[in-house]
Structure 1
Amino acid sequence: MKKLLSIVLFAVIITACSKDDEEMKGIVADQITATVQPFTGDDMSLRAYWNQGDVMTVLRAGLPACQLTLSAGAGTSVGTFAGELSFGLGQEVTAIYPKVTGNEGFLTLQNEQNYAAETDINAYDIRFGSAQLVSDEVNIQMSSLLCALKLDIILGTDDAMESINSIEVVVPDRFLSGTFPISSANPAASLQMTNGTDRIKVNLTSTPSAGKQVTAYILTLPCDLSEVRQVKYIITTTNGVFTFCHKPAEAFLSGKMVPVILDVNRFTLVSGEPGEGEYARTISDISEYTNLNDPVFYGIGATDPVYANSYLISEAGNYTFDATVIGNGPGGIMANGKFHTSTASITPKSAALVWQDKPGLIKKVAFSNGKIIFSTAETFTPGNALIAAYAGSDGTGEILWSWHIWMTDKPALETHINLEGHKFTFMDRNLGAVNKTIGDAGSLGLLYQWGRKDPFLNSASATEVVQPILYDIEGKVLTDRFAELWTSSDKGTIAYTLANPTHFLLAKDQETSADWYYGGGAGRVNRNFYLWGNPEGYVYRELSETLKTIYDPCPVGYRVPGNFAWSFVTYDGHFTPVPEQWSVKGSFTGGYTVIYDGTNTTFYPAQGCRSSAGGLSDAGEYGHYWMSGPFDEISPYVVCFGFANWYIHPDNECNTSTGRAVRCVKE
């Protein structure tokens, strides 16, 4: 009967040694038993075992190598290998897995691995051990030449369809994969690379969800990190790439498992190349996203990008815009305007949906290299949403800027001719309106405090006050997003309103002339009539002589109209309760059908307002439309177009803290 040679393999690095030749008793065996243990430092989540078809090499310098094939124990840590061994007692032997050719062969760690479960890394492991044969039952302690990285990944994406495809580890000026010689004399010391790379990649064949915590393992060549400046982890998903920069405290040692936590909540999001403790995110195929800063999208004959506080879209799809440029860009800053900034640039680190007025309008919001990317539902639904850029990662920190996403069919243009014969080409609906149907709440549009860029929801009914509802990205009702607060020296500033776009600032006449902008108190001297670019609007000027500012709420190519836009609606451009002196067709029906050029008509709904003292009012009863300038050179108030069923007032004197409608005019 042939002898049985038992070889027990343990995960402890043992350096092979040589022994002088001496007379030995010969041993011949046809199988061995091999046992392999986990990587050191493992939390028992990673199991090392044998695979069906595994072949190992048992060799000694100067003697022929023996190849043994796994014959039993696949899927366990204890395996039986079959083959013929012929050595003498007292000899030092080395076992190497996988097999090598000859006594001085080469092994390769592939630079690309596949992973679906913890056991998959066994197919890529390289193990070795050595022992002196003192009997026919010899235990050879054996370990991995490689280092196992345990990657715990938390990306926190909100797209249920986004999954992780692969992870790549990069250590500049170090070899993580490649081919190296293996020697029976000392396998552990033989990692002198002949052909290697500074990176190694694992493909996650199970494509786990990027919205859940994912754990994956990857094997790498041992690597001393003491003089390494950075280690990068490049995670590719179906939607783009996350790049983390983190140098572990532990070196990548042979037979060691090193934990690496890649959690977006523990890293700082940056728009450029990440440094230690930072991560960046890019969106793949961004060229397939519609660029809302491209003048071609609007049919504008320009070459430079275009910007606005409101982006109008009329189709379902994927969109992107520059989140580092505020308002309508640097051209929207007035030198004497007491604006909050002298530059139109910001450096956000993330973006998120603030609110939407219907669930499911916007399905995804992301931030990549200074761009905000968002996707609508597959079926286009009219509505409104607000997206913000944040100073912190993952929608945290201060809001640096916010943009209105207006989802409606493309508005028609209507050229109004005022009493003085000047032309104003208006949209056919209010800013934020999703239709122009008389009596429908969708025709009312949104409400704005004068001089502010961010909208507030109007009544959910066109005939009475019905409180509107805000929704988050998941379609859940938001109950704490909107607030009405009294203005003050700290709240009544441009900076505060930008950081708090859902805060409606109430005001009292005796304190601030009913202006949300606190200034220094009441009176004209404390007002800021520059906010919408027409500080002397009581004197008629062509649009080219005024400015669309960074606070103007209208979309690309449009702006808030000047003071004389609606002078034609009455016979002399001023207040009158006499119907015969109105340029309207028919009677009041929750608004007026206005004859705007002597022949054609358009409907102006009585959308009501949000009171300077708080609350919605007057839906279906009163109409209020902002213009861009002050009432006159004395008053602390601005001008608006107002009406009810008993009067029309084309140049009404209005306080700025009331929320009223905007109907945008073409630039």
Structure 2
Amino acid sequence: MNDNIIKAAICAILCCTVIACEKDVKPEQINPDALRVLTISEVKDFNAGTLTAKVTIPAVVMSKSEVLGTTMFTIQDGYESRDGILINHKSTHSYQAGDNILIDIDGCQLSKDDSFCTITIPNDKSVTKSNSTTAPYGAIIIDNTKLQSGNFQSMYVGLSGYEVIEEQISESVGKTLKFINKDSDTIRVITPSTASFAGEIVPELSGTIKGIALYQDGEYVIVPQNISDFAQLTEKRFRVQGDNQAILVWSGGPSLDSFVSEASTNEVEGAVSLDADGTQPANCFVIDKPGIYSFYAKNPLGEYPAGIPEETQIYIHVQEVGGNTVVGYVDPASKKILWTWHIWTSTVSLEDMSLTRNTTATDNNQTVTRSIVMLDRLLGAVNTTPGTAGPHGLYYQWGRKDPIIGVGIIGQFSSTEDESETEIGGAATASSSINKTYVEDWYFDDGDEETKTHQGASAYPTRYISNNDNAPSVEDITWAAVANPCPYGYHIPNSDESKAIWGVNASLNYGGMELVYHADGTTEGMDTETHLGFVLKGLDVWFPNNGNRARKAGRMLNLGRQHHYWCDYLNASGASGYAARIRDNQINPGAAINRGNACSIRCVKDYKEE
């Protein structure tokens, strides 16, 4: 039987051959009297043809006949060279995995067709089986590059970080399966339909797949020997690395990557979960240390916005804290933003900026005791220093989740007719860096049908919507949970919570009540000249006169003169949202302000009954 017929027979059974031999040694160069035992690696160095050396190969059978058939088996030796080879027995054999055997190579045929090696045994006398058995060698963990190199042909190997492709989840193992890793490298895993475990369902999880490395149709494949070769597929499925759909939308720093240097939908090892592995979804995440973080691309309801595949995670690299960045997920086809998340990189942790506020209000002929946990700063504030723009935070149109850029100054001209800017992006607006590939510079218009939904408006995070009828909150009565801009576990204050912050039951004039003071804590009243803000008696919190953005064009109003933050409810007509408004001599925990305006937000902690 010539070499081509041998090759055809082997391929017909398993379609497998063996690894390339790098050098040739003539059999007559081996002294049969001096060398009685050879390693598999040394045998592969012989020239192709009939072997005449009087030597043996000690090895362990690694394959099972139910998988490779009754005329084929693989052997592997335990020498330092650690090699394996495919044996064509020509006739039915009874060798099982773990059998210790000696192969007398004298008279055997070494095939090197297409530079691959196979030993064909002429008869049973060439193999001596020991009475003892050895546990088959453990799998050698390699990667796909090493597998395809051919250096591990016919050996028992394992490849880590693989999972069956999504299309073959729930299929049986008794077929050709395709496994993939995060880098999109694929391998074929082949189990004959006649194997006893062929009917088992392939695990859908990721991990290490094991088997004998054999050659088929121009590439190396894995041939599992029993169902336990699938047993280490126990880790959660991953997202295959591919085109990155996450982007940096805008940053409050001098460059787009000032705080968050990178956002990606491709997995980054060692990332710290911001959302407790998807169980604490939010539109805003607070980060107080540089590092690599991740969160699932969900809205606060725990849903993936339309167009975002389930299990998608976004990985971000925070290189500096002390500012704000908005990241988004982009549809790969339309290049439209499908959802955004506010990354608040603060120098203070969420826990450390939370404080308990206990008040007893006695005004307006009522005595009411209230207790809340509130943030000591406005959402997005970069510091709490009086007389600076840092405490002003970001601004939000009522009912909308996307933050609007803050301010770079702390006061305006005294006349409301002579404001310091005429529209958003003017002289009062803080500097920012915009990803102009996907969004425009800060601008205003009336919106349209698309912006009436929360996801539709999310596609335009730098767009100030001047027409309330086209706002995403047009159908909302209270601030929708899906658009909650606060971190997980916090929300926009309701009426009672707003009253608790100020320690009042309703609007009142605070003059002479020893309630409101300058930053020094001793000069009574609101400071509208120097630091432009105030503190409350007994509360170590700076309230900046942050003003608000006007509905029509988003220009700043009342900056340096009034303090505002939104509450979560509308008035009866739905035209106005309620906001805390503190101005010279008056505290109003719930003043009606047109909901198209943009005010700051002071988050309060969710209340949970013990």
Query: Is the Cα–Cα contact under 8 Å of residues 396 and 599 in structure 2 kept in the other structure?
Result: yes
Q: Which residue of 2 aligns with 1:517?
A: 472
Q: Which residue of 2 aligns with 1:38?
A: none
Aligned to 2:286, which of 312, 326, 336?
312
Q: Which residue of 1 aligns with 2:467?
A: 508
Are residues 247 and 579 of structure 1, via their aligned partners in 2, closer, same or farther at CA, if it must alter by over 3 Å? same
C-alpha distance in 2 between matches for 1:247 and 1:636: 62
Corresponding residue pairs, total: 446
Q: Secondary structure at the match of 2:456?
A: helix
Q: Which residue of 1 aligns with 2:604?
A: 665
1:432 aligns with 2:380: yes
Query: Is the Cα–Cα contact under 8 Å of residues 547 and 560 in structure 2 kept in the other structure?
Result: yes
Pairs within 5 Å for 1:315-464: 315-317=289-291, 319=293, 321=295, 323=296, 326-327=299-300, 348-352=310-314, 362-363=316-317, 376-377=318-319, 381-388=321-328, 399=338, 402=341, 404-409=343-348, 410-413=352-355, 415=357, 419=363, 421-423=368-370, 425=372, 426-463=374-411
Query: Is the Cα–Cα contact under 8 Å of residues 14 and 141 in structure 1 kept in the other structure?
Result: no
Q: Secondary structure at the match of 2:113?
A: strand
Pairs within 5 Å for 1:121-520: 142-143=112-113, 182-185=119-122, 201-202=141-142, 219-221=152-154, 228-234=175-181, 254=215, 257-258=218-219, 273=237, 289=272, 292-293=275-276, 306-317=280-291, 319=293, 321=295, 323=296, 326-327=299-300, 348-352=310-314, 362-363=316-317, 376-377=318-319, 381-388=321-328, 399=338, 402=341, 404-409=343-348, 410-413=352-355, 415=357, 419=363, 421-423=368-370, 425=372, 426-463=374-411, 465-470=428-433, 480-481=438-439, 484=443, 485-498=445-458, 500=459, 502-508=461-467, 512=469, 516-517=471-472, 519=474
Question: Which one-letter code corresponds to 1:143 in the other structure?
Answer: D
Q: Which residue of 1 aligns with 2:535?
A: 594
Q: Secondary structure at the match of 2:393?
A: coil
C-alpha distance in 2 between matches for 1:316 and 1:602: 26
Question: Which one-letter code corresponds to 1:640 in the other structure?
Answer: A
Q: CA deviation at 1:230?
A: 1.0
Q: Deviations over 1:192-227 (max 9, x none)?
A: xx9989987425999xxxxxxxx977654599xx97
Are residues 561 and 391 of structure 1, via their aligned partners in 2, closer, same or farther at CA, if it must alter by over 3 Å? same
Question: Which one-letter code corresponds to 1:492 in the other structure?
Answer: K
Q: Secondary structure at the match of 1:231?
A: strand
Query: Is the Cα–Cα contact under 8 Å of residues 144 and 255 in structure 1 kept in the other structure?
Result: no
Pairs within 5 Å for 1:615-634: 615-618=554-557, 619-620=559-560, 622-631=562-571, 633-634=572-573
Q: Secondary structure at the match of 1:488?
A: coil
Question: Which one-letter code corresponds to 2:454 in the other structure?
Answer: I
Computed over aligned residues only, the root mean square deviation of the Cα atoms, in angstroms, reads 6.3
Pairs within 5 Å for 1:534-553: 549-553=481-485
C-alpha distance in 2 between matches for 1:282 and 1:424: 42
Range with bigger deviation, 195-204 or 550-559? 195-204
Q: CA deviation at 1:405?
A: 4.3
Q: CA deviation at 1:626?
A: 0.5
Q: CA deviation at 1:488?
A: 1.6
Query: Is the Cα–Cα contact under 8 Å of residues 466 and 553 in structure 2 kept in the other structure?
Result: no
C-alpha distance in 2 between matches for 1:276 and 1:414: 45
Pairs within 5 Å for 1:549-628: 549-563=481-495, 565-566=498-499, 573-574=506-507, 583-586=515-518, 587-588=527-528, 589-595=530-536, 598-600=537-539, 602-618=541-557, 619-620=559-560, 622-628=562-568
Q: Secondary structure at the match of 1:604?
A: strand
C-alpha distance in 2 between matches for 1:647 and 1:445: 22
Are residues 645 and 478 of structure 1, via their aligned partners in 2, closer, same or farther at CA, if it must alter by over 3 Å? farther
Aligned to 1:93, which of 42, 50, 57?
50
Question: Which one-letter code corresponds to 1:497 in the other structure?
Answer: A
Q: Which residue of 1 aligns with 2:422?
A: none
Query: Is the Cα–Cα contact under 8 Å of residues 564 and 600 in structure 2 kept in the other structure?
Result: yes
Query: Is the Cα–Cα contact under 8 Å of residues 432 and 445 in structure 1 kept in the other structure?
Result: yes
C-alpha distance in 1 between matches for 2:266 and 2:137: 24
Q: Which residue of 1 aligns with 2:70?
A: none
Using the size of structure 2 for normalisation, the TM-score is: 0.53
Are residues 308 and 101 of structure 1, via their aligned partners in 2, closer, same or farther at CA, if it must alter by over 3 Å? closer
Q: Deviations over 1:103-146 (max 9, x none)?
A: x99974699x9xxxxxxxx99696999xxxxxxxxxx9833675
Query: Is the Cα–Cα contact under 8 Å of residues 492 and 505 in structure 1 kept in the other structure?
Result: no
Are residues 278 and 219 of structure 1, via their aligned partners in 2, closer, same or farther at CA, if it must alter by over 3 Å? farther
Query: Is the Cα–Cα contact under 8 Å of residues 56 and 67 in structure 1 kept in the other structure?
Result: no
Q: Deviations over 1:229-260 (max 9, x none)?
A: 4122446xxxxxx68666599x9985964399
Q: CA deviation at 1:627?
A: 0.8
Query: Is the Cα–Cα contact under 8 Å of residues 13 and 144 in structure 1 kept in the other structure?
Result: no
Are residues 64 and 216 of structure 1, via their aligned partners in 2, closer, same or farther at CA, if it must alter by over 3 Å? closer
Q: Which segments of 5 or more consecutive residues in structure 2 lack a partner in the other structure?
A: 9-18, 39-44, 63-72, 89-109, 128-133, 157-172, 193-212, 222-234, 244-264, 412-426, 519-526
Question: Which one-letter code corresponds to 1:531 in the other structure?
Answer: W
Query: Is the Cα–Cα contact under 8 Å of residues 146 and 256 in structure 1 kept in the other structure?
Result: no
Q: CA deviation at 1:661?
A: 0.5
Q: Which residue of 2 aligns with 1:15?
A: 6
Q: CA deviation at 1:636?
A: 1.9
Q: CA deviation at 1:450?
A: 1.4
Question: Which one-letter code corresponds to 1:15 in the other structure?
Answer: I
Q: Deviations over 1:83-120 (max 9, x none)?
A: xxxxxxxx972599x99469x99974699x9xxxxxxx
C-alpha distance in 2 between matches for 1:391 and 1:142: 52
C-alpha distance in 2 between matches for 1:282 and 1:56: 52
Using the size of structure 1 for normalisation, the TM-score is: 0.50
Q: Deviations over 1:431-459 (max 9, x none)?
A: 11132111233222122221123323312
Q: Secondary structure at the match of 2:390?
A: helix
Query: Is the Cα–Cα contact under 8 Å of residues 310 and 405 in structure 1 kept in the other structure?
Result: yes
Q: Which residue of 2 aligns with 1:36?
A: none
Query: Is the Cα–Cα contact under 8 Å of residues 592 and 604 in structure 1 kept in the other structure?
Result: yes
Q: Secondary structure at the match of 1:443?
A: helix
